[in-house]
Amino acid sequence: MRRGLIVALALAMSFAAAGADDEQPKWTEGPAKAELGEATLDVPAKYIFTGRDGARYVLKQGGNLLTDQEVGLVTPQTPPGDKQEHWFVVFEYDPMGHVKDDERHSIDANALLEGMREGNRKANEQKRRQGLPTLDVVAWAVQPHYDETTHNLEWGLTLHSKQGEQDMDDVVNYEVRLLGREGVMRSTLVISPTGMDTALPAFRALLKGFSFRPGRRYAEYRQGDRLAQVGLTALIGGGAVAVAAKSGLLKYLWKILVAAGVAIVAFLRRIFGSTRKPSPEPPPMP
């Protein structure tokens, strides 16, 4: 039986093929303040952060389609031999304009799920052309909901992956859209379904250290600011396929590490292992 979230076999091969030209991510250990362009994040102790280039490296190695809006990635720093579920969060900023929240009481979760399944079929066509694993939308892990105080829009999806005809483990993408004055920060938690109970509270606690810079907060909107062409519904699923295609959201679907071959524990430890300080060598014998 397979256990936990697993990553593509091509991923392991990519490390061997990458060579010296592919620069490994540079990691910052918490506590630290991470720069996310229009925002900042307080990275707690026992977490590590990498910026735009590092995030793009990790995602590319995992077989993801890049959006060119990646601004950072954060993950717990786990000691060698740790058996807990591994997870990470990707941050991407889209300067789409101010998103009005007038749809906050009319979000139709069932209709959205069907629209996302249709949009995902389009995304799978692109993934097949590139030889990447495909994803199927299974169900809501957490139905979409909007917090009128924080202006955060949240939802979670359970997804199922295939590499060719081979079925892989399910994975959860838990999404939070942090609305700002001039755009939206997309934050995506990637975790296996069995790890949700521990990772989700930690993820929410992490986001309490997120803030847009002064003058860029949602409540600081002023008449005349550029408005986004989409609302809350479109943020959740890329909207219907037509909305997604018009707004350009379709290409941003599914930020995930998936497919077959190597346990995510081994992958993350290999990527993140460079943050650990080597143990000092014992002094020479007299």
Question: Domain spans of the chain?
Answer: 6-275
Q: Residue 184 forms beta bridges with which residues?
A: 94, 179
Pairwise CA distance, residues 284 & 107, whole Å: 68
The answer to whether residues 180 and 217 touch, using CB atoms and an 8 Å cutoff, is yes
Q: Rounded to whole angstroms, how far apart are CA atoms 246 and 158?
A: 26
| Single pTM value for the model | 0.74
Confirm if 23 and 44 have CB atoms less than 8 A apart.
no
Which one-letter amino acid corresponds to residue 182?
A: E
What is the pLDDT tens value at each position of the chain, 286 positions in all?
222 222 322 232 233 333 334 567 899 999 999 999 999 999 999 999 999 999 998 888 776 778 889 999 999 987 555 556 678 899 999 999 999 999 999 999 998 888 878 777 777 787 778 777 777 888 998 999 999 999 999 998 888 776 666 666 677 888 999 999 999 999 988 887 788 888 999 999 999 999 999 999 999 999 999 999 989 998 887 533 333 333 333 333 334 333 222 334 444 555 555 444 443 444 444 4
Cα gap 178→43, rounded to integer Å:
17
